[in-house]
Amino acid sequence: MNNPNFTTSNELTSHFFRNEYGKLVSVITGYLGNAYVETAEDIVQETLLKATEHWEMKGIPENPKAWLYTTAKNLTLNVLKRKKYQRDYESLANQKPEMDETGFFSDELIEDSQLKMMFSCCHPSISENSQIALILKILSGFSISEIANAFFSNEETINKRLVRGRLQLRKIKIDLSQKFDVDKRLEAVLKTIYLLFNEGYFPANKNQVIRFDLCLEAIRLARLLEESTVVGNKTDCSALLALMYFNASRFASRVSDVGEIIDLKEQNRSKWDSKLIQTGMWYLDKITLTKTITKYNILATISANHCIAETYKKTNWAQILSLYDQLIILEDSPITQLNRSVALAEVKGTQVAISTLETLGEESDIDNYFLYHFTLAELYKANKAFAKARFAYNQALHLAKNPRDKELLKKKLDELVLISPSQLS
C-alpha cells in the first residue's frame, strides 16, 4: 500500500488555503516589492496548485503549512534569480537560500506583512471599490469570479478595479514602525473592513454562503489589527469587532427558508448565535473603561441592546434613541437619521417619527433611497394611513435595484391590500 496518508486522516482547517494565500502573498510581496504583487499572487497560486496535485492523491501531509512554505520559498527564490529582479534583489537572493522556510515565512514576518498589505490596500489614494477588491483578492484569497459573484458584478469590472488598484499600490510605502502613521491610517482601514462586512451582511438568495464568508473575512482582518503589536489605540478595533460579532449573530435568522429577508421585528430570536453574541460582549467589555465615545462604540452598543432584548417590543428603545442622538452629534448623516427614526417611533410614537422623516426627505436627497420610503411606508401602515403606505411602498419599489428587495416590497404591497379593505368596513 503506497497511500499511507489515507490511513491517517489529517484534515485541513476550514478556509486553510484562503488564509494561507493571504499570508504568503503578503510576505512574498515584501520580498519582491509592491510593484510585483501580481507576481507574488502567481507564485502562491502555483504553490497551492502543486499542493492540490500532491494532496488529492497522497492525502494531506502531517504539516501542510510547512509543505506550502517550503514550496512557496523555492518558487520565490527562482523568481528572485531571474534577471529582471536581479539588480534590486541580488543580495536578497544570495542570502535567503540558507534560510529555512520557518525563517522565510516567520510568524512575525507574516503578521507584519499582512498588516502592511492591509494598510497599503486601504490607502486613501486607492478608490473604495478597488480597496475592497484588492483586500479580497490579495489578503483573503478570493478569486476574481468569487468577488464578482459576491458583488453581483462581472469578472471584467472586478479585474479593472484590481488592475487600477495594483497600479496605485506601486507608489505606496507603509512604515509600520511609525506609530503615529499607523494610528492615523487606522480609521481608513477600519472603514474598509466595515464596508466589506456590510457587503456580506445583505443576504441574497443564491450566494448566501459566500456572503457570510465576506463577514467572516472582515472579522478576521479586524482581529489581525486588534491582536497586533503595531496598532497603538485599539478602542475602535474592539468596538468594530463587537459590532460585527453582534450583527453576525443574527445572520441565520435574517433570511427565511425560501430566501426572503426577515425584518428584525419578525426574526426568530432563538436562532441568534449566542456564542457570537458572547464574543461581541467580550470585545465591548474591553472598551467600557475608555472615555472616548466613537462611532463604532455607539453602533456596537446599539447592536448589543438588540442582542440582549427578549422581544422587539421589550427592547430598550429609550437607550437606543439616546445612543442615536449621540451618534448624530458625531456624524449627522441622513442614513443615521433614518435609522434613528425607527427608535424614535418606538419611544415617541409613529407620528413623531413620520414628521421627522418627512422633514428629512425635504431637506436631503435621502428620498432617492428605497429604504427611506420603505421605513416611511411601515410607519404609515402602523398608523393605519394605508393610502400613504401604498404610495410609499410603490416609491420604494420604483427605487429598489436588487430583485430580492423588489420581491419583499411586492409582498408588502399585497399584504396591504389584504388589510386595508377590512379597515373600511
Partner 1 sequence: MREFLLLIRSEEEPKANLSPEQMQQHIEKIGGYLKKLTEEGRMKSAQPLEMKGTMLSYKNGQIVDGPYNETKEIISGYYHLLAKDLDEAIAIAKQDPRFDEGIWRMEVRPIKHVEGIN
With CB under 8 A as the rule, give the number of residues binding partner 1: 31
- Grid cell listed for 215: 463577514
Q: Which of residues 139-158 bind partner 1 (CB under 8 A)?
A: 141-143, 145-146
Give the containing element (helix H, strand E) for 149.
helix 144-150
- How near is the Cβ of 25 to partner 1 at its closest, in Å? 10
Stretch that binds partner 1, among 50-58, 150-158, 181-189, 320-328 (CB under 8 A): 50-58
Chosen residue from 58, 171, 184, 410 binding partner 1 by CB under 8 A: 58
- How near is the Cβ of 35 to partner 1 at its closest, in Å? 23
- How near is the Cβ of 17 to partner 1 at its closest, in Å? 4
CB-based contacts of 348, cutoff 8 Å, min separation 6? none
> Which CB atom, from 135 or from 239, has the smaller least distance to partner 1?
135
62 lies in the binding site for partner 1 (CB under 8 A): no
Identify the CA nearest to 17 among candidates 9, 56, 37.
Answer: 56
Check: CB of residue 73 under 8 Å from CB of residue 93.
Answer: no
> Which CB atom, from 17 or from 386, has the smaller least distance to partner 1?
17
- How near is the Cβ of 126 to partner 1 at its closest, in Å? 23
Check: CB of residue 272 under 8 Å from CB of residue 317.
Answer: no
- How near is the Cβ of 64 to partner 1 at its closest, in Å? 10
105 lies in the binding site for partner 1 (CB under 8 A): no
Provide DSSP, 308-368: H-SSSTTS-HHHHHHHHHHHHHH---HHHHHHHHHHHHHHH-HHHHHHHHHHHHHHSGGGG
The sign of the torsion formed by the CA atoms of 85, 88, 89, 90 equals positive
Check: CB of residue 201 under 8 Å from CB of residue 216.
Answer: no
Helices (H), 82-106: 83-95, 101-104
Residue 106's beta-bridge partner residues? Answer: none
Stretch that binds partner 1, among 16-24, 28-36, 166-174, 372-380 (CB under 8 A): 16-24
Residue 261's beta-bridge partner residues? Answer: 255
Identify the CA nearest to 26 among candidates 16, 41, 14, 15.
Answer: 41
Stretch that binds partner 1, among 136-144, 238-246, 280-288, 394-402 (CB under 8 A): 136-144
Stretch that binds partner 1, among 1-9, 111-119, 215-223, 241-249 (CB under 8 A): 1-9
296 lies in the binding site for partner 1 (CB under 8 A): no
207 lies in the binding site for partner 1 (CB under 8 A): no
Assign 50 to helix, strand or coil. Answer: helix
- How near is the Cβ of 195 to partner 1 at its closest, in Å? 21
> Which CB atom, from 21 or from 36, has the smaller least distance to partner 1?
21
Stretch that binds partner 1, among 83-91, 135-143, 237-245, 350-358 (CB under 8 A): 135-143
Question: What angle, 0 to 180 degrees and rounded to 10, lies between the N-to-C axes of helices 16-32 and 83-95?
Answer: 100
Whole-angstrom distance, CA of residue 122 vs CA of residue 185 = 8
> Which CB atom, from 122 or from 147, has the smaller least distance to partner 1?
147
Assign 60 to helix, strand or coil. Answer: coil
21 lies in the binding site for partner 1 (CB under 8 A): yes
- How near is the Cβ of 167 to partner 1 at its closest, in Å? 23
Chosen residue from 28, 60, 150, 158 binding partner 1 by CB under 8 A: 60
Whole-angstrom distance, CA of residue 383 vs CA of residue 63 = 63
> Which CB atom, from 60 or from 400, has the smaller least distance to partner 1?
60
Whole-angstrom distance, CA of residue 257 vs CA of residue 94 = 59
Whole-angstrom distance, CA of residue 234 vs CA of residue 297 = 12
7 lies in the binding site for partner 1 (CB under 8 A): yes
335 lies in the binding site for partner 1 (CB under 8 A): no
Chosen residue from 35, 38, 54, 96 binding partner 1 by CB under 8 A: 54
Q: Which residues bind partner 1 (CB under 8 A)?
A: 1-3, 6-7, 9, 12, 15-18, 20-21, 45, 48-49, 51-60, 141-143, 145-146
